[in-house]
C-alpha cells in the first residue's frame, strides 16, 4: 500500500482524521501520516501552507521509504495541497489524491473573515483562478473530489466539483462530518487501494 498523508482544514489539526486513519490502517495502509498546518487559523497565506505541505510530503516519503505517496486533503487543506503540487513541484511525488469538501472554486463564507488564507478562498480571486487555469495541472496524478450538496461551509457546494477529477457527491449534513461518514471513508479507501 502507498503511504498516505492526511491534510486538515481551517481551525483544526490532524486529529480530525482519527476515524479515517483507523479505517485505513484496518484495511492494510500501514503508513498513514497526519500533518498539522501551523497556525491552523488561515492567518497565513495558502502559499505558505503549501510550503508546509511540501515539507510533510518529504517527511512522509522519507519515513516510509517510498518514492510516491497518496494524499487525502480536507477543505482549506486541499487548496494548500493543490498549491504544493501544482506550483511547488510536488506532482512527481504523489500517486493519487482525494479531496474532501474542498472549495476549489471558492466559497462565499470566505467573505466573513479578513485573514490572509481565508480571503484567498473568495470566488474569482487570483489564487483560485491560477489553480484552476486550464482545468488544473495534474500530470499523471489520479484525482478524486468528494463533496456534499448539503455543505453550508463551501457555498455554493458545487464549488467542490473539480475538472479532470472523479467527482462523487455524498448527502452528508455537515461539512465536518464528511471525514467521519462511513460512506465517505469507504470511498476514500476504495480510491486509494492498489489496482489489481
Q: Which of 181, 147, 192 is nearest to 25 (CA)?
A: 192
Note the pLDDT tens digit of each residue in 40-74.
999 999 999 999 999 999 999 999 999 999 999 99
Give the model's pLDDT for residue 135.
73
> What pLDDT digit, counting tens, does each position of 26-40 carry?
999 999 999 999 999
* Helices of type H across the chain: 18-26, 46-64, 76-87, 116-119, 126-132, 182-192
pTM of the model: 0.96
Q: Identify the CA nearest to 145 among candidates 69, 81, 57.
A: 81
Amino acid at each position: 500500500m502507498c503511504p498516505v498523508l492526511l491534510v486538515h482544514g481551517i481551525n483544526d489539526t490532524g486529529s480530525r482524521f482519527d476515524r479515517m486513519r483507523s479505517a485505513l490502517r484496518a484495511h492494510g495502509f500501514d503508513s498513514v501520516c497526519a500533518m498539522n498546518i501551523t497556525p491552523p487559523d488561515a492567518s497565513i497565506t495558502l502559499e505558505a501552507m503549501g510550503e508546509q505541505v511540501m515539507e510533510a510530503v518529504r517527511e512522509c516519503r522519507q519515513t516510509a521509504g517510498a518514492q510516491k505517496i497518496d494524499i487525502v486533503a480536507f477543505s482549506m487543506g486541499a487548496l494548500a495541497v493543490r498549491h504544493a503540487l501544482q506550483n511547488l513541484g510536488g506532482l512527481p511525488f504523489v500517486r493519487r489524491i482525494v479531496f474532501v469538501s474542498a472549495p476549489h472554486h471558492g466559497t462565499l463564507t470566505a467573505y466573513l473573515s479578513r485573514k490572509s488564507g481565508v480571503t484567498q478562498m473568495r470566488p474569482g480571486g487570483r489564487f483560485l483562478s491560477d489553480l484552476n487555469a486550464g482545468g488544473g495541472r495534474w500530470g499523471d496524478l489520479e484525482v478524486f473530489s468528494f463533496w456534499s450538496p448539503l455543505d453550508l461551509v463551501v457555498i455554493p457546494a458545487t464549488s467542490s466539483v473539480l475538472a479532470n477529477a472523479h467527482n462523487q457527491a455524498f448527502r452528508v449534513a455537515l461539512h465536518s462530518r464528511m471525514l467521519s461518514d462511513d460512506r465517505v471513508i469507504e470511498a476514500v479507501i476504495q480510491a486509494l487501494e492498489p489496482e489489481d
